[in-house]
Amino acid sequence: MPLMHRIALALLPLAACAAQAHEGATCQVNAPAAVVSARSAFAAQPDSLPALFRLADALVEANCYDEAVHALEEGEERHPRNPELQAKLRTTRSLVSEQTYFAGLEQAEVAARVSRNVLRCSRLGDLNACDEALKLKPNDLDILMAKGDAQLAAGKPADAEQTYLRARQFAPDEAKLGTQLAAAQSQRQAALASCQKGTGDAALAACQAALLRGADDEFTVHTRLAQIYQQRNQPAAALNAYIAANSLRRGDRSVALGIVAITDADPHRDAVASAARGSALLTLRRGTEALAALRQAQALAPAMPDLRNQIVQAQTLARVEAKARTSESAAATPTRVAETAPAQPAKKYSNETEASRSY
């Protein structure tokens, strides 16, 4: 198990460092009152053994073992061969090594968990185990490689490509990484072709496998996924895919039509769906409807980003539409028609004569 061994070797020295760093920080910054008081008493009487012992005891009580050992070692120079001092020094040194030892045991537990997850990730293709291992060691090259391999084996070339690319940040010259990355890219291209040309479940699986965040073809894959979901009568998934595509490239007419078609069929829209509908209607130059949808989104989620800007655009467009409507209606309606139109009979209310009556 070379991979697990390398990780274990890397983890072992951490224990002592962690324990010592923690102790040092606590003892120097937030020393308890007893330590502060014992320090001043000892500073006033540096030759006093009882004062030294009180300081050492206070430091031990505060788990500041290293500092206690230093204090006693300094005392040893002033009081050589004092049996009580020797005994205290021996015990305190033992506490230091004990603390390091227990930190080591705790670290062993952590290292074992990492090794277990790496083993399951690399040997059994257990992606959950890969993620668990990366939680503890997020930038570990070996674990990233193992995860990429597991993703590739699971037919997720896009995810594998992403993982290998992340791993490459830590080892740009790693030959195996280059080979695996090329394999993932090749597998993804094949999946991309099936996604575009295939049908049914196979096409859906291919699109999901090929979908790579940040890739040039991400918009195309989302759009294709949306179409496949629509064909399968899965409007929620289709809408999500269209929304993802729309967020990548706003203003695409086919995506806008897709979003409007799906949201037309469902009047109970949440904030995201309303915002997507508003955005799509803006693309289709339907300002008044866009404004209504965007305002609905704003009412549901006032903090949603980019809404305000789109609302301003929709308001402008709506005003243009209103003007156009007014002009159209003015052009279409001759003024004399209005003049010759029969006058509406004035309404007569039963209480007309009762001015004081409240309606």
Contact footprint for another protein (CB under 8 A): 1-2, 4-6, 8-9, 12, 15-16, 87, 90-91, 93-94, 96-98, 100-101, 104-105, 107-109, 111-113, 115-116, 119-120, 123-124
Q: Measured from the CB atom, is 117 or 187 closer to another protein?
A: 117
Q: Measured from the CB atom, is 15 or 184 closer to another protein?
A: 15
Tell me if 256 sits within 8 A of 286, measured CB to CB: no
Q: Measured from the CB atom, is 3 or 58 closer to another protein?
A: 3
Least separation in angstroms between CB 210 and another protein: 30
Least separation in angstroms between CB 85 and another protein: 12
Least separation in angstroms between CB 7 and another protein: 10
Least separation in angstroms between CB 94 and another protein: 4
Q: Measured from the CB atom, is 88 or 147 closer to another protein?
A: 88
How far apart, in whole angstroms, are the C-alpha atoms of residue 178 and residue 264? 48
DSSP character string of 341-357: SPPPPPP--TTTT-TT-
| Region of residue 63 (phi > 0: left; psi between -120 and 50: alpha; otherwise: beta) | left
**Tokens matching residue 21:** 């760093």
Distance of CA 136 to the CA centre of its chain: 16
Residue 45 CB neighbours (<10 A): 11
Q: Measured from the CB atom, is 97 or 139 closer to another protein?
A: 97
H or E stretch covering 217: none
> Dihedral sign, CA of 88, 91, 94, 96?
negative
Least separation in angstroms between CB 13 and another protein: 9
Least separation in angstroms between CB 143 and another protein: 15
Q: Measured from the CB atom, is 41 or 119 closer to another protein?
A: 119
Least separation in angstroms between CB 171 and another protein: 18
Q: Measured from the CB atom, is 67 or 161 closer to another protein?
A: 67
Least separation in angstroms between CB 243 and another protein: 39
Q: Measured from the CB atom, is 6 or 295 closer to another protein?
A: 6
Alpha-helical segments (H) within the chain: 2-11, 14-29, 33-44, 49-61, 65-78, 83-124, 127-136, 141-153, 157-170, 175-197, 200-210, 218-231, 235-248, 253-265, 271-283, 287-300, 307-332, 335-340
**Tokens matching residue 345:** 């009979």
* Burial state string for 283-317 with b = 16 or more CB within 10 A and e = fewer than 16: beebbbbbbbbbbbbbeeeeebeebeebbebbbeb
